[in-house]
């Protein structure tokens, strides 16, 4: 089963901005409780959307440049990119069906 891809300051352009498919980026950190709640949901989505959308995770503590570029102030923040642009943003731990609805709108 597909897993969420870890992205970083160094591979963000290649993996997210240049992707042929929509990309969900989960901005998270180890110390964040709500991030741990939504983490397994993000992993499930990676399997369900394999081939249709790219599901990724970016650790904000290890990758401050990208986090600052997109104005990430609270986590978890989930941004959906399409053709290199942010098309949707979800802040906080939301139910899986909400994430699926937002993703489906971009596919």
User: Taking residues 90-104, what's their average pLDDT?
Assistant: 96
Q: What is the structure's pLDDT at 1?
A: 72
Domain 5-104 in CATH 3.30.920.30? The answer is no
Q: What is the structure's pLDDT at 103?
A: 97
Out of 35, 53, 58, 66, which one is annotated catalytic? 35
Residue pair 22/54 in contact (Cβ under 8 Å)? The answer is: yes
Q: What is the structure's pLDDT at 40?
A: 97
Out of 24, 32, 53, 66, which one is annotated catalytic? 32
Question: Where along the chain do its domains lie?
Answer: 5-104
Q: Is the pLDDT of residue 5 over 90?
A: yes
- Look up 32 and say whether it is catalytic: yes
What would the pLDDT profile of 30-85 be if each residue is shown by its tens digit? 999 999 999 999 999 999 999 999 999 999 999 999 999 999 999 999 999 999 99
């Amino acid at each position: 089963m597909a897993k969420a891809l870890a992205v970083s300051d160094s591979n963000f352009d290649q993996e997210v901005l240049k992707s042929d498919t929509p990309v969900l980026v989960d901005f998270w950190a180890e110390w964040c409780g709500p991030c741990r709640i939504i983490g397994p949901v993000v992993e499930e989505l990676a399997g369900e959307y394999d081939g249709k959308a790219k599901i990724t995770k970016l650790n904000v503590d290890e990758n401050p440049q990208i986090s600052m570029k997109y104005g990430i102030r609270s986590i978890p923040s989930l941004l959906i990119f399409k053709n290199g642009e942010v098309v949707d943003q979800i802040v906080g731990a939301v139910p899986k069906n909400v994430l699926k609805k937002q993703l489906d709108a971009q596919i």
